[in-house]
């Protein structure tokens, strides 16, 4: 199965110039929501859709607890989620303090199964729409 | 209950001011394995650990299948998993080919619940680690 991709126009700006570049991107598709996913999972297990939704909400509580303790959480075939910090760089060890911490992030690491799938993907450029109208809004980025 | 950070030393070779720099980095408190998560769910509900494990396996399959179709999955309360391409840009649309795709990744955008929980947890310096070299 091939994954459909589109060409997108992007604008890269710096202090003096704006360059137009063309990149490949995935077309926007609506993400499947909890209800849809719960129904699908219920179809593959002995659990009802309501039970699946309940477990996924319990998972949210477990994750909040673990992450607030600085622990990661393994999500089986999905992968794992870990807390991490991003901080500013300073010149000496003594200069580091809480003020250098910019943000606490959540890093997601896909499972081996998902990594294998990602490596094996084939792509096909959508030739019906050379620059897709719905997805090509000329996104801007700055250097 | 707080995040613990440690000081790490890294050599930075890019940017305006390269050289040895010091950063704050998270001290990992380990990981809750999926088995432990299933056991917690078993303890707090009528769902057995075995059923919770099957659920996680099925969840992994459903998300993988969606990623293969280029579609994201929105697990309200947890966040959104969505596929993303890292590609090289070209000067004209005609020059762009499949070879410009460098990598396919899965982005995870945490829910506002998780983000708020992360932001509200206090942070303090580790007393165990003096300085780590990376």
Greater confidence, B41 or A130?
B41
pTM over 0.90: no
Q: What is the pLDDT of residues B68-85, one digit of tens each?
A: 888 888 888 888 998 888
Residue A38 has pLDDT above 70, yes or no: yes
Among B30, B33, B85, beta carbon nearest to A5: B85
Order of strands across the sheet with A101-110?
A101-110, A79-87, A72-74, B31-32
Query: A134 to chain B, minimum CA–CA distance in Å?
Result: 16
Residue B51 lies in a domain: yes
Domains: count for chain B = 1
Residue B18 has pLDDT above 60, yes or no: yes
Residue count of chain B: 134
Task: Count CB-CB contacts under 10 A for residue B27.
Answer: 15
Question: How confident is the model over B36-42, as a mean pLDDT?
Answer: 78
Q: What is the pLDDT of residue A108?
A: 92
Which range of residues forms the domain containing residue B51? 31-71
Residue B54 lies in a domain: yes
Q: What is the pLDDT of residues B60-119, one digit of tens each?
A: 888 888 888 888 888 888 889 988 888 888 888 888 888 888 888 898 999 988 888 888
Residue B61 lies in a domain: yes
A positions 56-115 inside 8 Å of B (CB): 56-60, 62-64, 66-85, 87-93, 95-96, 98, 100-101, 104-106, 108, 110-111, 113-114
Half-sphere exposure of B30 (CA within 13 A, CB side): 4
Query: B126 to chain A, minimum CA–CA distance in Å?
Result: 11
């Amino acid at each position: 199965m091939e994954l459909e991709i589109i060409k997108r126009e992007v604008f890269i700006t710096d202090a003096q110039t704006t360059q137009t570049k063309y990149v490949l991107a995935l077309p926007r598709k609506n993400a499947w929501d909890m209800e849809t996913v719960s129904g699908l999972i219920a179809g593959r297990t002995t659990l009802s859709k309501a039970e699946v939704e309940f477990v996924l909400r319990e998972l949210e509580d477990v994750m909040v607890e673990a992450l607030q303790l600085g622990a990661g959480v393994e999500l089986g075939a999905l992968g794992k989620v870990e807390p991490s910090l991003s901080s500013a760089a300073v010149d000496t060890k003594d200069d580091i303090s809480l003020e250098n911490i910019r943000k606490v992030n959540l890093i997601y690491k896909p499972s081996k199964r998902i990594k294998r799938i990602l490596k094996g993907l084939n792509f096909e450029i959508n030739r019906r729409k050379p620059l897709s109208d719905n997805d090509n809004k000329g996104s801007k980025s700055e250097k | 209950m707080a995040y613990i950070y440690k000081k790490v030393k890294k050599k930075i070779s890019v940017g305006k001011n390269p050289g040895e720099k010091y950063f704050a980095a998270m001290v990992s408190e380990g990981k809750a394995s999926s088995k432990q998560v299933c056991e917690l769910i078993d303890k707090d509900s009528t769902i057995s650990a075995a059923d919770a494990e099957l659920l996680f396996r099925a969840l992994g399959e459903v998300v993988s299948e969606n990623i293969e179709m280029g579609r994201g999955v929105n697990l309200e309360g947890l966040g959104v998993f969505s596929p993303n391409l890292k590609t090289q840009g070209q000067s004209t649309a005609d020059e762009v080919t499949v070879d410009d795709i460098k990598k396919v990744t899965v982005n995870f955008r945490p829910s506002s619940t998780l983000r708020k929980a992360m932001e509200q947890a206090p942070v303090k310096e580790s007393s165990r680690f003096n300085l780590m070299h990376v």
